[in-house]
Amino acid sequence: MTPDLAQLGAEHEALIQFLYLAPVGLVQADLHGEVAMMNPVAAQLLMPLSRNGGLDNLFVALEGVAPELRSMVERHPEPSGKVCDGLHVYLNAGHGGKRVPQILSLTLLKLDPERVMAVISDITEQVRRERRLRQNDAWLNAILAGVKDYALVSLDLQGRVCEWNPSIERVTGFGPDLVGQPFTRFYPLDAMTLDHQQDRLREADANGWSLDEGRRQRADGSLYWGSALIAPLPDREPLPGDEAGAAYCLILRDIGDQHGLPERRHDDAVRDHLTGLANRRALFEAAERELGRSSIAPRPTALLVIDADHFKTINDRHGHPGGDSVLRHLAGVLGENFREVDVVARIGGEEFAVLLPSTDLARALAVAERLRASVVAYPAMVGGQPVEYTVSTGIAVALDGEGGIDRLLARADDALYAAKRAGRNRVDHWRPGIDVHDAHQENADAT
Measured CA to CA, the distance from residue 336 to residue 351 in angstroms comes to: 17
Cα angle 159-165-169, degrees, rounded to a multiple of 5: 95
Question: DSSP assignment of 190-237, as one string?
Answer: TSS-HHHHHHHHHHHHHHS-EEEEEEEE-TTS-EEEEEEEEEEPSS-S
For residue 239, give the DSSP letter: P
**The one among 6, 11, 12, 190 contacting another protein by CB under 8 A:** 12
Contact status, residue 35 vs residue 57, Cβ threshold 8 Å = yes
Q: How far is the CB of 58 from another protein (least distance, A)?
A: 10
**The one among 11, 20, 170, 422 contacting another protein by CB under 8 A:** 20
> Which whole-number Å values give the CA distances from 317 to 71, 312, 323, 391, in the listed order?
38, 9, 9, 18
Q: 10 Å Cβ neighbour count for 234?
A: 5
Residue 6 as a binder of another protein (CB under 8 A): the answer is: no
Report 352-371 residues binding another protein (CB under 8 A): none
- Contacting range for another protein; rule: CB under 8 A; set: 30-38, 230-238, 306-314, 412-420: 30-38
Of 150, 153, 205, 217, whose CA–CA distance to 180 is shortest? 153
Measured CA to CA, the distance from residue 121 to residue 367 in angstroms comes to: 39
Measured CA to CA, the distance from residue 187 to residue 194 in angstroms comes to: 12
Q: Annotate each residue in 56-75 with x if it binds another protein (CB under 8 A) or - if it does not, as one string.
A: x-------------------
Residue 141 as a binder of another protein (CB under 8 A): the answer is: no
Residue 251 as a binder of another protein (CB under 8 A): the answer is: no
- Contacting range for another protein; rule: CB under 8 A; set: 44-52, 130-138, 226-234, 410-418: 44-52
Residue 42 as a binder of another protein (CB under 8 A): the answer is: yes
Q: How far is the CB of 105 from another protein (least distance, A)?
A: 17
Nearer to another protein among residue 18 and residue 362 (C-beta): 18
Q: How far is the CB of 248 from another protein (least distance, A)?
A: 41
Residue 95 as a binder of another protein (CB under 8 A): the answer is: yes
- Contacting range for another protein; rule: CB under 8 A; set: 19-27, 237-245, 383-391, 397-405: 19-27
Nearer to another protein among residue 122 and residue 213 (C-beta): 122
- Residues forming contacts to another protein in the complex (CB under 8 A) are 12-13, 16-17, 19-21, 23, 35, 37-45, 47-48, 50, 53-56, 95-100
